[in-house]
């Protein structure tokens, strides 16, 4: 299992779940957890769900990815309240998360993952 985990945060639960599905196939050795939508299943982001995704992730060092602005802000608040080391990347959601997952699963080290994420920064 990779020591670094991945947390996904999206406005829509199916979107988070879909990206999770995409990543799990390529990265069986990475702990990936996700949060999508509000607690009522509407479009939005849930602080509690994101906090849970961070806590339930098997890793203590987490790389996190989000789709739109407010999922980022909610993630930042969850990071403020969490004891884990969670890093947030302003990269394209799908490509960024997919890149990190495949590299981590292939045994790449942290620096290499960061290096590969750089060109994907879009926001």
Partner 1 sequence: MLTVENTKAWLLRFAEKVEANKAHLSDLDSVIGDGDHGNNMARGIKAMQEALESKEASDPADVLKNASMALLSKIGGASGPLYGSAFLDMSKQAKEDASDVSAIFRAGLSGIQKRGKAEPGEKTMVDVWHPVIKALESGELTTDTITDAVEATKPLKATKGRASYLGERSIGELDPGAVSSSYLFEAWLEGED
The position carrying tokens 């479009």 is: 43
| CB 86, CB 31: distance < 8 Å | no
Q: Is 18 in the site for partner 1 (CB under 8 A)?
A: no
In angstroms, the CA 111 to CA 17 distance is: 27
Long-range contacts formed by 68-71: CB under 8 A, 24+ apart: 68/11, 70/11, 70/44, 70/45, 71/9, 71/10, 71/11, 71/45
Interface with partner 1, residue 122, by CB under 8 A: no
Task: Kindly tell me which residue out of 46, 57, 64, 99 binds partner 1, with binding defined by CB under 8 A.
Answer: 46
* Range 51-110, binding partner 1 (CB under 8 A): 69-70, 73-74, 76-77, 80
Which residue stretch of 36-44, 56-64, 86-94, 101-109 sits at the interface with partner 1 (rule: CB under 8 A)? 36-44
Active-site amino acid positions: 11
Given the rule CB under 8 A, which residues bind partner 1? Answer: 38-40, 42-48, 69-70, 73-74, 76-77, 80
């Amino acid at each position: 299992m990779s020591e670094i985990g991945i947390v996904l945060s999206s406005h829509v639960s199916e979107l988070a779940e879909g990206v999770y599905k995409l990543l799990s196939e390529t990265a069986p050795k990475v702990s990936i957890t996700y949060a999508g939508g509000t607690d009522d299943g509407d479009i939005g982001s849930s602080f509690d769900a994101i906090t849970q995704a961070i806590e339930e992730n098997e890793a203590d060092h987490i790389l996190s990815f989000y789709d739109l602005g407010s999922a980022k802000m909610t993630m930042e608040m969850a990071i403020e309240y969490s004891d884990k080391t969670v890093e947030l990347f302003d990269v394209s959601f799908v490509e960024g998360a997919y890149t990190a997952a495949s590299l981590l699963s292939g045994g790449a080290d942290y620096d290499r993952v960061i290096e590969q994420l750089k060109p994907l920064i879009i926001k």
